[in-house]
């Protein structure tokens, strides 16, 4: 289940990538998870690689972001996790986990205790990554361009109205981040390996790596997730993205009947000029030359602040973490430096006295959303309801959301581990 709601670092292993970590694995170690396929290949790993079934989550730099002041108590190692898509079981399953700190690679062939500990290390790294990447990709990317939007456009500008509707919670994050995330002794600081200080170091370095050009289709293609049909964000996100783009296209066409109207919109062009010059903001267009330019950017911002945000953060944070094996840190003692020693995973689990803080920080993300604030009733408010030319696009969007809701509910009802 947790593999289905995380995986925003997950990518396809291409060609000879990561060879030094996995090419030495025996056929038995690989086939135990992947199943026996591609017998024409020299090894099972080469066969699975050729079939586009090997994926990786690479957290090889994570140890450096561990909260230095608390690393004697909690930390996250630098770790790389390798997964195989088992086509018979229709599951993405881990088959090797390399702990770079100890230079040890664990597989399902190791003792259950060693394998459990390796999975705990990988899960802790993923938890820290997902929280901070969501903060960078959604909030740190959106807030600066929102500020420039407010400086450049009138509040009744159609693009302002649409984006302001989706940006509405961003400024609250400026306060919440200072008081709940990046504050010393907060529940987050006490339970996540990065803590407040490590998280700040991470987001400022990660911020320089993200771009407005990396929209949903670009991201999915770059990570090779088209080869993973069960990845829920890729599978359902594709349908949401299509619906959002169709609505944004109708919306833009309603106000801009020609490309010239876009080029001659001084407020829109001023926003592009200002936002593209913000330090560390990459890929924002310097100008809008056509309706398609505008549609691409606005679709990305709407999708980012609605669909992707809630895929990465919200109820999934609550469901994606649980004591003792799936928390945001490895606790109490260093990881073993050799294999074959007796290991008790609970020795590395969160201390009992810290569980209330863990529950508290995750419960903050369990936010049931009233129907009127969901995609099923999006835009049922002024100024959108005051515009007759938006009546049809809004109705079509609602119909698309209703159909998608039914599709997802029906599909998930057939799964043993359902997305909630």
Q: Distance (Å, rounded) from C-alpha 22 to C-alpha 45?
A: 8
Give pTM, 2 decimals: 0.93
CA distance 43 to 61: 30
Angle between helices 291-303 and 158-167 (to 10 degrees): 20
Taking a C-beta distance cutoff of 8 angstroms, is the pair 239, 217 a contact?
no
Residue appearing with tokens 């088992």? 86
> How many residues are recorded in the chain?
420
CA distances from 246 to 249, 290, 296, 302, 401 (A): 5, 17, 11, 12, 12
Q: Along the 420 residues of the chain, how does pLDDT read in single tens digits?
A: 344 457 789 999 998 999 999 999 998 888 888 887 655 566 789 889 999 999 999 999 999 999 989 999 999 999 999 999 999 888 999 999 999 999 999 999 999 999 999 999 999 999 999 989 999 999 999 999 999 999 999 999 999 999 999 998 787 777 888 888 899 999 999 999 999 999 999 999 999 999 999 999 999 999 999 999 999 899 999 999 999 999 999 999 999 999 999 999 999 999 999 999 999 999 999 999 999 999 999 999 999 999 998 888 777 666 777 888 889 999 999 999 999 999 999 999 999 999 999 988 888 777 777 888 788 899 999 999 999 999 999 999 999 999 999 999 898 888 776 665
Q: How many other C-beta atoms lie within 10 A of the C-beta of residue 270? A: 15
**First-residue to last-residue Cα distance in the chain:** 10
| Rounded CA separation 87/91 (Å) | 7
Cα–Cα distance for residue pair 313/5, rounded to 1 Å: 10
How many Cβ atoms from other residues are within 10 Å of residue 71's Cβ? 16
Tell me which fold the domain 111-413 belongs to.
Lipoxygenase-1; domain 5 (1.20.245)
pLDDT value at residue 332? 93
**How far is 320 from 7, CA to CA, in rounded Å?**
11
Output the CA torsion sign for 31, 33, 38, 42: negative
Q: How many CB atoms lie within 10 A of CB 96?
A: 26
CA separation for the pair 192, 288 (Å, rounded): 41
Contact (CB, 8 A) for 167 and 305: yes
Tell me which residue has tokens 């953060």: 313
- How far is residue 385's CA from residue 161's CA, in Å, rounded to a whole number? 12
Instruction: Give the strand order in the sheet containing 104-107.
Output: 11-12, 54-59, 79-86, 91-99, 104-107
The string of DSSP letters for 313-349 reads SSHHHHHT-BTTTBSS-EESSPPPSSTTS---GGGGS
Give the residue among 130, 131, 140 at the shortest CA–CA distance from 173.
140
SS3 380: coil
């Amino acid at each position: 289940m947790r593999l289905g709601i995380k995986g925003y670092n997950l990518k396809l292993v291409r060609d000879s990538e990561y060879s030094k970590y996995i090419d030495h694995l025996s056929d038995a170690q690989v086939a135990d998870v992947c199943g026996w396929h591609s017998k024409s290949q020299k090894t099972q790993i080469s066969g699975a690689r050729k079939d586009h079934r090997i994926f990786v989550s690479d957290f090889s730099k994570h140890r450096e972001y561990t909260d230095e002041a608390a690393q004697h108590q909690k930390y996250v190692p630098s770790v790389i996790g390798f997964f195989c898509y088992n086509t018979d079981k229709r599951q993405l399953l881990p088959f090797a986990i390399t702990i770079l700190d100890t230079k040890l690679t664990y597989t399902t062939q190791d003792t259950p205790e060693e394998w459990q500990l390796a999975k705990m290390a990988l899960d802790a790294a993923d938890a820290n990554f997902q929280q901070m990447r969501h903060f960078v990709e959604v909030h740190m990317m959106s807030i600066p361009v929102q500020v420039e939007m407010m400086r450049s456009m009138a509040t009744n500008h159609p693009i302002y109205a649409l984006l302001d509707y989706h940006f509405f919670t961003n400024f609250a994050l400026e306060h919440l981040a200072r008081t709940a995330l990046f504050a010393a002794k907060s529940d987050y600081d006490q339970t996540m390996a990065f803590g407040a200080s490590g998280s700040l170091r991470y987001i400022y370095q990660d911020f320089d790596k993200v771009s407005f050009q990396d929209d949903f289709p670009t991201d999915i293609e770059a990570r090779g997730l088209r080869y993973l049909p069960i990845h829920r964000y890729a599978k359902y996100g594709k349908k949401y993205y299509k619906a959002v783009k169709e609505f944004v296209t109708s919306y833009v066409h309603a106000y801009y009947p020609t490309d010239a109207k876009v080029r001659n919109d001084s407020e829109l062009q001023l926003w592009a000029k200002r936002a593209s010059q913000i330090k560390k903001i990459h890929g924002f267009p310097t100008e809008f030359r056509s309706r398609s330019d505008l549609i691409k950017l606005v679709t990305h911002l709407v999708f980012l602040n609605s669909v992707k945000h809630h895929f990465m953060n919200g109820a999934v944070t609550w469901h994606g973490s649980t004591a003792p094996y799936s928390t945001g840190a490895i606790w109490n003692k260093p990881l073993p430096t050799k294999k074959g020693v007796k290991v008790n995973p609970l020795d590395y689990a969160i201390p009992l006295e810290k569980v209330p803080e863990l529950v508290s920080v995750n419960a903050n993300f369990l936010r049931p959303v009233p129907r009127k604030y969901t995609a099923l009733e999006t835009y049922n408010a002024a100024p959108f309801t005051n515009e007759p030319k938006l009546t049809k696009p809004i109705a079509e969007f609602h119909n698309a959301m209703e159909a998608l809701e039914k599709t997802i509910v029906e599909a998930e009802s057939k799964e043993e581990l359902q997305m909630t």
